[in-house]
Amino acid sequence: YLLAYQALSKKKNGVAITLIWSEVIIHAGLGVTLIGWDSGFHYYLLIFIPALSVTMPFGVAVAALLGLWSYYVGLYVLMWFMEPIEPIAPSALLGVYLFNLSVVFAMFSYLSFFYLMLVTTANQKLRWMATTDSLTGLFNRRHITNLTNRELARFQRGGHALAFVVFDIDYFKPINDQHGHEMGDRVLVDVAAVIKAELRAQDLLARWGGEEFLAVLVDTDLRSGQTTAERVRKALKTQQWIAQNGEFISITVSAGISEFRAGDDLNSAINRADQARYRGKVEGRNRVILEQFYEL
């Protein structure tokens, strides 16, 4: 086991696994033949079953399990035809059996909890990856679309107001070109944090694409949405970033706002906000523009 530990520390996993397997197999065989089947040493062989199933390709795992089963049954049959080499008193044999059973039980329990935590963690990570933008930590486009569709169902039932705000960082490409993508990523992360801090807990926020963010403001009409967007714009205007060359970078955003209306669908409402954002770009940037509903 010391050699196996040293091998693991040197990243020689194959050597370590071979040493551990050899020890357990030989230990089980010696324990059974020396003091008898009732000693419970054969239980240690069963610990390999989940390890083989999880860590090996299917074909190799099946072959290894068949080999393990043959060895286990072979030991059992062998003890039909021979007496233990060094038999011990029945009370001592019972003590050894209970000890081995307890150790194996504890190891199986640990393995069960370990694999359960492994699967749970993997599922949580997959769920996070499926719903979250990896850079900013905000919702991704697909997930906010799903969440917003639920809010639209509320609108259909009770007519609750729902506003959409598309934020777009002004002159973002020059930041990447002049200061590198690492600086651009930092700006995206910080802008996302500022926008999120200005929204309420019930509002939804996602990275919509590139340097664009979509906020879905629950129970908010067009004018209230404008107030929120202005608050975000002013908060960002006071921020400054320092590039690696010591240059100060100021960030502004253009924002377009729309309100969901009867007969709307999600795409049309967001498109109106996006058109308003585009007008803000054309008119000079760093401004909040309301939708023009008559354009539909």
Catalytic residues: 211
The long-range contacts involving 196-200, CB below 8 angstroms and separated by at least 24 positions, are 196/138, 197/235, 198/228, 198/231, 198/232, 198/235, 199/228, 199/232
Give the CA-trace dihedral at 218, 222, 223, 224, to 10 degrees.
10
How far apart (Å, rounded) are the C-alpha atoms in residues 258 and 172? 24
Residues 138, 207: contact at Cβ < 8 Å? yes
Residue 275 near residue 295 (C-beta atoms within 8 A): yes
**Would you tell me how many other CB atoms lie within 10 Å of the CB of residue 9?**
9
Strand 288-290 relative to strand 248-250: parallel, antiparallel, unpaired? unpaired
Q: How many CB atoms lie within 10 A of CB 164?
A: 27
Cα–Cα distance measured from residue 70 to residue 59, given in angstroms and rounded to the nearest whole number: 17
Query: Which among 28, 22, 35 is positioned nearest to 72, based on CA atoms?
Result: 28
Per residue in 194-231, is it b (16+ CB within 10 Å) or e — as a string?
bbbebbeeebbbbbbeebbbbbbbbebebeebbebbee
Q: In terms of Cα–Cα distance, which of 256, 276, 249 is closest to 213?
A: 256
Where residue 225 falls (left for φ over 0; alpha for ψ -120 to 50; beta otherwise) is: alpha
